[in-house]
A = this chain, B = another copy of it.
Amino acid sequence: MSCLNTSPKTRAESRYPLDTVDFFTVLPPDKLKKLHEEGRTSTYTKGQILFTQDDPAEWFYMIESGWVKLFRETLDGNEVILDVMPHGFLFGETSMFEKNAHPYGAEIVENATLTSYPISILKEYIEAQPELALSLLQHISNKNNLKDREIEHRTVMKAPQRIGCFLLRLCKVKQPAPIILHLPYDKTLIASRLGMQPETFSRALSRLQEDTGIKVRGATVEITNLGNLITYTCTACSNVFPCDD
């Protein structure tokens, strides 16, 4: 793991509290505190590889700021993006159940601050406290569900609808119209995240604007009629808006 600046245990005050993570809420305060204190906060620059697929899983990470992508590489050199995640998200926390190796690589896609926590402590806690195992089961099942939805979308949704879904996940339900969104990272990366070639993404984005009346200027998206976008997108999904996952 290479990083610009590692300051173990010195920046604990600026970290995301671990009890913001769903499955940690069952831990008693002293255990949370111990884990928190074991964190090492470091900064990383865009393009840095944190680890690659099959690397031993010794740490899990909280994204304090910036963006991280999880990816795999095929034998013939193609990259597949499994996720792109912002601050407040964890990764690597389930790798201990994957033969203690990360089932994906992780790369910094926007300058980031991450806190790494030792997986060994998490293991200890799980063995000592069955409720933590149960809430982790819930957490992993939720991830499972999201992946099923992704497979579903890649099977039946048209490209403009998949972009529509990406945008709807950025909307707050009760935002007054017009809704102004800022794309969280660049369009090439969004295309890869959605498993599309850049040209397909570009054509699909034009089509989405024609069909739903949304307007995209650079990284800014204006949605004047949210209902239009929901009808256009979510009728091709097995879930109703807003998604509960």
Contact = CB atoms under 8 A, between A and B. Distances in A.
Q: Which secondary structure characterizes the binding site on chain A?
A: helix
Interface string A27-62: 000000000000000000000000001000000000
Interface string A231-244: 00011111010000
Contacts of A152: 72, 74, 80, 82
A98 interface: yes
B147 A148 contact: yes
B130 A75 contact: no
How many copies of the chain does the oligomer comprise?
2
Interface in A121-146: 126-127, 130, 133-134, 136-138, 140-145
B133 A234 contact: no
Interface of A: 53, 72-76, 78, 80, 82, 94, 97-98, 103-104, 126-127, 130, 133-134, 136-138, 140-145, 147-148, 150-152, 154-156, 195, 234-238, 240
